[in-house]
Amino acid sequence: MIEKYIDNKKGTSNDPETVSQAEDPIDRSQGGHAFGAYYNIVCAVCGTGMLGLSQAIARGGWGAIALLLLAWWMVSYGSVILIKCLYHPRKQTTRINSFKDITEDAFGKLGGWLCFFFIAWVLLGSPILYLVLIGQNMNQVCRGTAGEIGSIPWTIIWSVIIAIPFVLMKTMKEVAWTSLIGTTACFVSVIMLIVMVGIDSPTHAVNAVRSNIIWEGFPTSLATIGFSMGGNVIYPNVEASMRRPESWAKTVVIALTTCAMLYIVIAVPGYYVYGQDVSNPLYNSITEGPAQTVIIVLVTINILVSVPIFLTSFALDIESMANVTVARYGKYREFALRAAIRISTMVFCTVVACAVPYFDYLMSLFGAFGSCTSIFIIPVLCYWRLTGFKNKSIWENAWCAFILVFGFVGLIFGSWGAITDLIQAFREDSAAATTAS
């Protein structure tokens, strides 16, 4: 089904029933190669997502693997039709610029702002989650040394460091080279995790408690899986950075398939060996030692290069909405305004990361509220609205309807479970603090 929607340079498809196409106004002469887009996608999508999937399976049982496989196929399809929507506007003759603009063109200004509200949960939620993890990782690596200063101070320190490339790197193309580093770190950490899980297997697997299906845990499991697949909010900007946009469909499907393969080879052994007690992130379940420290460092490297990808995409959308351009403000004023927007964004993410330091619960919440909406629901609704409903086969419309049901289940029930868990975590911390005092 996906191959049917491989677009040509102007976004046309091989579908004979394609509606009229918009022109591509982007100057792609200096655009990046498909490999750069591939690295951006894998780095942004894979990252910390792989660390929570063993626990996602633990919450839903072995049956949750079916959710992972379904999510992979649905997100691959949704990522292709999302970019297809860029070239099928109703109210203009040129390519749409952003995720928000797609929804605004399809459902008006209210729809556009509602979409922006949900995608902000991903574009800002993912960096917040990463900042929480990087603070915990650095403090864990420095345990027993003078560097054990606490998770919050480390979060602040690395937020300042990350802010430098975030402010200076203007477009997704400039971020692409860092994604190669993150992707490499991701692959190496996966291999090391598999080896360490295998080493722990003889002593842990025999006592591990596993279940075939835990129905009540499916929504929370789906929310975590949704977060692990949630990257399409940056795809309009990634596609805009490509020299050959006709390669988009193949590039994104290959990238998401890479992520899915990495997820399966790490999530299944993790649940098999540690069972219901598996941690999120997974490396906290393996035996402590030098290998665990190296894995934490590699994951931290991946985080460091992933955060600017999401933040840059968010900033580009904000700057586009505010029309912050060199043509309007001049070179120096444009830079000053852009720096102010990005520094403010970084400060906001840092404050939230320091105030809500619950990695696994935040992953479920952002996955349910942001990712389930942006990767399952919005692409299908916009696709129907912009390209038509009656001109599609009954099987394709049925598939799209199934994706919507999938997304709404994750959104409603996953959000409820994540919020309940967060409230419980705050209460437990408050009770512990009261007892200690």
Query: What CA–CA distance (Å, rounded) separates 97 from 94?
Result: 9
Q: How far is CA 135 from CA 128, 130, 152, 153, 159, in A?
A: 11, 9, 6, 7, 10
What does DSSP assign to residue 239?
H
Query: Measured in Å, how far apart are the chain's first and last C-alpha atoms?
Result: 61
> Residue 122 pLDDT more than 90?
no
Backbone angles phi, psi at 123, to 5 degrees: -65, -30
Give CA–CA dist 83/89, Å, rounded: 11
Distance between CA atoms of 174 and 182, rounded to whole angstroms?
Answer: 14
Distance (Å, rounded) from C-alpha 62 to C-alpha 71? 15
Residue with structure tokens 């200096």?
30
What tens digit of pLDDT does each residue of 65-116 get?
999 999 999 999 999 999 999 998 888 788 888 888 899 999 998 988 888 8
pLDDT averaged over every residue in the chain: 83
Please state the separation of Cα 418 from the chain's center in Å.
Answer: 17
User: Is the model's pTM score more than 0.95?
Assistant: no
Mean pLDDT of 175-189: 74
Token readout for 94 is 């040129």
| Residue pointed to by tokens 């690395």 | 158
141-168 pLDDT, tens digit each: 998 888 899 999 999 999 999 898 888 8
Instruction: Give pLDDT tens digits for 228-281.
Output: 887 787 888 888 888 888 899 999 999 999 989 988 988 899 999 999 999 878
Helices (H), 61-98: 64-86
Confidence of residue 310 (pLDDT cuts 50, 70, 90): confident
The answer to whether the beta carbons of residues 259 and 45 sit under 8 Å apart is: yes
pLDDT of res. 231: 76
For the chain, the residue count is: 437
What confidence score (pLDDT) does residue 6 get?
A: 40
Rg (CA), the chain: 21
